[in-house]
């Protein structure tokens, strides 16, 4: 089973992000855009694992997650992995709250390392907006993510109050996510 842990923006924040990034969907051709209902910020990706391993992982992450306080996530503009003229992934950058996400990632990685080994990738918190297809990707003139002179709107923030375990099934029409479990973050006193 293919799984990951993530922080999920509430529906209103996801709708705001989606509508404020309409210009991206207009100027980029050949990109598979993520629907707002699938917006999330991955904390750890477990990948394909036997259900037994996922169950063991779930049994130990609750106390780790519950020890972290709720926090605010502030979006900070558009970014990409790869070059802006030919990105591998287009995402919403995380400004405020990135340190909390990174701390959660480190703690969850420590638990994960004991069960399935260390993830060799450096953690870079982000919310995926779109994945360019291999062929026919075409962006705006000028080799940037947005047309020259276009300033992206600030899409605001949300309060992270829980961590969600998703199962991901890859399909030709896009990933299908199912919530398997969720753990609340600690409320501030």
Model confidence band, residue 78 (pLDDT cutoffs 50, 70, 90): very high
Residues 69/186, Cβ–Cβ less than 8 Å: yes
Percent share of the chain, pLDDT over 90:
64
Model confidence band, residue 184 (pLDDT cutoffs 50, 70, 90): very high
- The class level of CATH for 2-184 reads alpha beta
Instruction: Give the per-residue pLDDT at 133.
Output: 82
pLDDT 10s digits, 7-36? 999 999 999 999 999 999 999 999 999 999
Instruction: Give the per-residue pLDDT at 189.
Output: 53
Mean pLDDT of 112-134: 87
Model confidence band, residue 99 (pLDDT cutoffs 50, 70, 90): very high
Distances, alpha carbon 134 to alpha carbons 26, 33, 111, 152, in Å: 19, 14, 35, 26
Residues 30/136, Cβ–Cβ less than 8 Å: yes
The β-bridge partners of 70 are none
Give the contacts of 148 (CB within 8 A, at least 6 positions apart). Answer: 140, 141, 142
Instruction: Give the per-residue pLDDT at 188.
Output: 62
> Where exactly are the structural domains of the chain?
2-184
* The residue to which tokens 């060799």 are assigned: 120
pLDDT at position 124 over 60? yes
């Amino acid at each position: 089973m293919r799984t990951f842990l993530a922080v999920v923006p509430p529906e209103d924040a996801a709708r705001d992000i989606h509508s404020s990034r309409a210009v991206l969907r207009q100027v980029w051709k050949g990109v598979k855009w993520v629907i707002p209902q699938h917006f999330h910020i991955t904390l750890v990706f477990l990948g394909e694992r036997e259900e037994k391993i996922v169950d063991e992982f779930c049994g130990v992450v609750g106390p780790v997650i519950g020890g972290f306080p709720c926090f605010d996530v502030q979006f900070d503009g558009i970014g990409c992995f790869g070059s802006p003229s030919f990105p591998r992934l287009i995402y919403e950058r995380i400004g405020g709250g990135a340190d909390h996400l990174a701390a959660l990632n480190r703690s969850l990685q420590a638990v994960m390392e004991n069960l399935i080994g260390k993830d060799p990738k450096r953690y870079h918190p982000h919310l995926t907006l779109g994945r360019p297809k291999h062929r026919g990707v075409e962006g705006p003139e000028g080799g940037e993510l947005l047309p020259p002179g276009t300033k992206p709107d600030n899409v605001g923030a949300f309060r992270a109050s829980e961590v969600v375990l998703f199962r991901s099934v890859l399909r030709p029409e896009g990933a299908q996510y199912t919530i398997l479990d969720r753990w609340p973050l600690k409320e501030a006193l």
